Amino acid sequence: MSLMYYVYVATFTMLGLGVLFTLYRLVRGPSVLDRVVCLNTLSVLLVSAIAVEASVRGDTAYFGLMVTIALLGFVGTITAARFAERRAHDRG
């Protein structure tokens, strides 16, 4: 039991640090594509965190949310990337 406690603390700490690093790159930029990549990474990290949370409680209440975020993250990233391409073409 106590080992599992430390395992969960370590996992959540690493995921949280990951979110911080991703936020740093999200704010710094420099390119729009960097930000798009960061948003996708954030959604993946969120999905991971939900899975770990479910494992802590042995409860699958948030799984619908998890699948939805996984899909929305993908659709959003693709849309943003295509939009970035369109804008570059309009300018050039």
Partner 1 sequence: MTAADWTTAVLLPLGALFALIGTIGLVRFPTLLGRMHAATKPDTVGLVLLLLGAAFQLPGVGAAAPLVLVVLFQFVTVPVLAQTLGRVAYSRGETSNDHLVLDELNEAIELAKKDAGNSGGEQDR
Partner 2 sequence: MTEGVIPTTYEQSESTSAIDGNRPWYRRLVARVPTVLLLAAMWVTLWGDPSPGTILAGIMVGTLCYSVAKLPHFPVRLGFSPFYATKLAGKIGLDLLLSSTRVAFHVLWRPARVRGAIVAVPMRTNSDFLLAMVSGSMSLITGSLVIELNREQGVIYVHGFPAASEAEADRLRNQIAHTEELLVRAFGTRSDIAELEARTPAAAERTEEGTA
The reply on whether position 5 binds partner 1 by CB under 8 A is no
Binding to partner 1 by CB under 8 A, coded x per residue (else -) over 32-61, reads -xx-xxx-xx--xx-xx--xx-xxx-x-x-
Q: Is 85 in the site for partner 1 (CB under 8 A)?
A: yes
Please report how close the Cβ of residue 91 comes to partner 2 at its closest, in angstroms. Answer: 11
Distance CA 34, CA 83 (A): 14
Residue 27, Cβ density class (10 Å: 0-12 exposed, 13-18 middle, ≥19 buried): exposed
Query: CB of 32: closest distance to partner 2 in angstroms?
Result: 16
Separation CA 61–CA 58 (nearest Å): 9
